């Protein structure tokens, strides 16, 4: 029977696997067979900040105590009650951690979108499913698709954050990246490095060697050594959500900081500490940044630059990222636990499949 992994909305470490009986489709619905999905620290952020950011609304569970975390992955339409959506088409987009998914859809130029009433308030990027045969970012092969599931969304977030800071941070010549071993951080660092910005990574002692081995960081320090960060005009990008670490960097750089962005919460249990020096950190919202860059560059140039940068980054990831595929309900539940606990090394990316 089809199943789905659900997460306790008040304790993201707790999960349960729930059977999903197969029911007839209503007009306009399709049934996806979900092939695979990525499990990263970002998915933990979606659970921890699910109420604040609305991620629980993507795929309602019908039980207020339990939620279904969205993940990027690949799926095939196996049954369709929409006259313009054929079976057999493959799509990349947001899916629950499940073996099947039913959605009310509407065709778009690039594929289909989730047209359910509960999705009407979500940004288009979160409702879109890109058809593989119309996907400008698609690269053939199972390994490439796994890497895209793991890296595409995270890289694009980093690309948008770098573009946002390029537009808004004035003369900043340095960027300081907290949780520098996270995949979003690595993608952001690659973009900033390509733009000629000095990139300083801040990470835990256990990840220092890995982060230093990457070609994207000019300097790497631990959280205890932020006093070694050069006092240059800077931006701060926090992937960790550790306010004490952000506060320490702000104390070090003070008014040298042009902008400070919080993008993730990979250290989701960290104690909250006020930031007193420099500008207040802002929570980064990718859709708003994307629209600003489109307004600045035009949609065609924006998409072309993303594609070129993404292909370079994904191809280079074979030098530092190993794909770990977890298959079956028990394996996916264990994978969630491993990612939540920080037990997955930074040079490993976890792909889950419930079937």
Is residue 343 packed enough to be buried (19+ CB in 10 Å), middle (13-18) or exposed (0-12)?
exposed
- 147 in any annotated domain: no
Q: How many domains does the structure of the chain reveal?
A: 2
Q: Are strands 66-67 and 90-96 parallel, antiparallel or unpaired?
A: unpaired
DSSP letter for 98, please: B
Q: Does 266 share its domain with 174? A: yes
- 186 in any annotated domain: yes
Of the three residues 290, 310, 330, the one that is the final residue of a domain is: 290
Taking only the tens of pLDDT, the chain with its 355 residues reads: 899 999 999 999 999 999 999 999 999 999 999 999 999 988 998 898 888 878 999 999 999 999 999 999 999 999 999 999 999 999 999 999 999 999 999 999 999 999 998 888 887 888 999 999 999 999 999 999 999 999 999 999 999 999 999 999 988 999 999 999 999 999 999 999 999 999 999 999 999 999 999 999 999 999 999 999 999 999 999 987 778 899 999 999 999 999 999 986 555 544 556 787 888 888 898 888 999 999 999 999 999 999 999 999 999 999 999 999 999 999 999 999 999 998 999 999 999 999 8
pTM score? 0.89
Of the three residues 248, 267, 290, the one that is the final residue of a domain is: 290
Compute the half-sphere exposure of residue 31: CA atoms within 13 Å on the CB side of its CA.
14
Q: Which domain holds residue 103?
A: 3-135+321-353
Q: Does 231 share its domain with 281? A: yes
- 44 in any annotated domain: yes
Q: Does 93 share its domain with 160? A: no
- 305 in any annotated domain: no
Q: Of all helices (H) and strands (E), which one includes residue 278?
A: none
Q: Does 216 share its domain with 253? A: yes
- 307 in any annotated domain: no
Q: Does 121 share its domain with 160? A: no
Question: In 97-215, where do the E strands start and end?
Answer: 100-107, 111-114, 128-131, 174-178, 198-203
Q: What is the CATH number of the domain that holds 95?
A: 3.90.180.10
- 140 in any annotated domain: no
- State the Rg of the chain over Cα: 20
Q: Does 203 share its domain with 250? A: yes
Is residue 25 packed enough to be buried (19+ CB in 10 Å), middle (13-18) or exposed (0-12)?
middle
Of the three residues 248, 274, 290, the one that is the final residue of a domain is: 290
- 116 in any annotated domain: yes
- 259 in any annotated domain: yes
Q: What is the CATH number of the domain that holds 281?
A: 3.40.50.720
Q: Does 191 share its domain with 269? A: yes
Q: Does 274 share its domain with 161? A: yes
Q: What distance in Å separates the CA atoms of residue 125 and residue 293, rounded to the nearest whole number?
A: 15
- Residue that has been written with the tokens 């060697």 in this structure: 209
Q: Does 16 share its domain with 64? A: yes
CB 325 within 8 A of CB 332: no
Q: Does 190 share its domain with 264? A: yes
CB 40 within 8 A of CB 158: no
Q: Does 9 share its domain with 46? A: yes
Q: What distance in Å separates the CA atoms of residue 21 and residue 338, rounded to the nearest whole number?
A: 28
């Amino acid at each position: 029977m089809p199943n789905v992994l659900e997460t306790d909305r008040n304790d993201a470490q707790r999960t349960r696997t729930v059977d999903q009986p197969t029911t007839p489709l209503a007009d306009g619905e399709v049934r996806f067979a979900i092939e695979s999905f990525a499990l990263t620290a970002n998915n933990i952020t979606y659970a921890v900040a699910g109420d604040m950011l609305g991620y629980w609304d993507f795929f309602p569970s019908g039980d207020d105590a339990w939620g279904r975390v969205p993940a990027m992955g690949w799926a095939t339409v196996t049954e369709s009650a929409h006259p313009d959506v054929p079976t057999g088409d493959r799509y990349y987009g947001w899916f629950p951690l499940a073996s099947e998914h039913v959605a009310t859809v509407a065709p778009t130029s690039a594929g289909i979108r989730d047209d359910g009433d509960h999705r009407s308030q979500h940004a288009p990027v979160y409702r879109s499913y890109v058809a593989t045969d119309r996907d400008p970012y698609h690269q053939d092969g199972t390994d490439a698709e796994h890497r895209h599931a793991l890296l595409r969304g995270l890289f694009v977030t980093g690309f948008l954050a770098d573009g946002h800071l390029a537009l808004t941070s004035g003369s900043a010549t340095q960027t300081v990246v907290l949780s520098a071993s996270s995949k979003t951080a690595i993608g952001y660092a690659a973009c900033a490095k390509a733009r000629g910005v000095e990139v300083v990574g801040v990470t835990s002692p256990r990840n220092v060697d890995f982060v230093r081995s990457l070609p994207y960081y000019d300097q790497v320090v631990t959280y205890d050594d932020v006093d070694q960060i050069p006092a240059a005009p800077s931006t701060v990008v926090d992937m960790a959500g550790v306010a004490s670490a952000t506060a320490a960097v702000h104390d070090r750089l003070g008014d040298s900081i042009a902008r400070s962005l919080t993008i993730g919460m990979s250290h989701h249990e960290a104690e909250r500490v006020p930031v007193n020096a420099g500008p207040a950190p802002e929570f980064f919202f990718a859709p708003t940044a994307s629209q600003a860059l489109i307004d600045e560059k035009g949609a065609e140039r924006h998409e072309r630059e993303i594609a070129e940068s993404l292909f370079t980054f994904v191809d280079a990831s074979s030098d530092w990222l190993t794909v770990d595929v977890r298959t079956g309900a028990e394996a996916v539940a264990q994978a969630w636990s491993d990612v939540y606990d920080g037990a997955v090394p930074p040079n490993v990316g976890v792909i889950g499949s419930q079937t």
